[in-house]
Amino acid sequence: MPNYKIFQCPRCKQPLYSPDKQKTKQCPKCQKTIPITRQKILKITSSIHDAIVIVQNLNISPTLRKKIAQTQENTAKSKSRRDELWEFIIKLQNESGNQVVNQVLFLNAAKQQGFTEDWILKQLSELEKEGLLFRPKEGHFQLLL
């Protein structure tokens, strides 16, 4: 299985990749024939898929790259907040000895923990769609542990 080299065109700075045994490559953007052995190699990968993804990411503008990073960071924060909610529900279920949770009492307790009602209801709805929560009766829910 060949390795793939990631480098830039010396003329137009277009990110490119090629198999490690390939000697030259023609830049699709400016048509320059590039001697690969003379180029600074940015990365070597063993997968063509990884090489394509790296080149695509190098083609993204810095502004867009920053927005993507912020979105990923916000998603990670959202997931950790959801994990906090999950742990809070489990704690309430264990403390009460009853696996069925009263939604009104839960919302009040969760608000005291810093969660907002809209966000909680959205998360409960998503957990229900994922099959991790069910409602045995109106106004109550239970996590499927």
CA distance 12 to 25: 14
35 pairs with which residues across the strands?
Answer: 24
Residue recorded with tokens 């809070």: 88
Whether 6 has a pLDDT exceeding 80, the answer reads yes
The pLDDT score that the predictor gives to residue 33 is: 96
Give the count of beta carbons closer than 10 Å to the beta carbon of residue 60: 12
Q: Residue 65 domain-assigned?
A: no
The pLDDT score that the predictor gives to residue 41 is: 93
**Strand, helix or coil for residue 130:** coil
Please tell me whether residues 50 and 80 are part of one structural domain. Answer: no
Q: Residue 70 domain-assigned?
A: no
Q: Do 18 and 5 meet the contact criterion of CB atoms below 8 Å apart?
A: yes
Domain count, the chain: 2
The mean of the pLDDT values for the chain is 86
Please tell me whether residues 85 and 53 are part of one structural domain. Answer: no
**pTM score:** 0.47
Please tell me whether residues 100 and 128 are part of one structural domain. Answer: yes
Whether 145 has a pLDDT exceeding 70, the answer reads no
Whether 124 has a pLDDT exceeding 70, the answer reads yes
Domain that holds residue 16: 4-59
The pLDDT score that the predictor gives to residue 140 is: 87
- Contacts with 90 (C-beta within 8 Å, 6 or more apart), sequence order: 143, 145
Q: What is the mean pLDDT of residues 6-35?
A: 94
The pLDDT score that the predictor gives to residue 95 is: 78
Per mean pLDDT, which range of 45-49, 71-75, 104-108, 114-118 is the poorest? 71-75
Please tell me whether residues 98 and 130 are part of one structural domain. Answer: yes
Q: What is the mean pLDDT of residues 135-142?
A: 86
CA distance 35 to 11: 12
**Strand, helix or coil for residue 123:** helix
CA distance 92 to 95: 5
CA distance 100 to 134: 9
30 — pLDDT class (breaks 50, 70, 90): very high
Q: What is the pLDDT of residues 70-102, one digit of tens each?
A: 777 776 666 678 888 888 888 888 877 777 888
CATH of the domain at 114: 1.10.10.10
Please tell me whether residues 110 and 52 are part of one structural domain. Answer: no
**Strand, helix or coil for residue 6:** strand
More confident of the two residues 28 and 78: 28
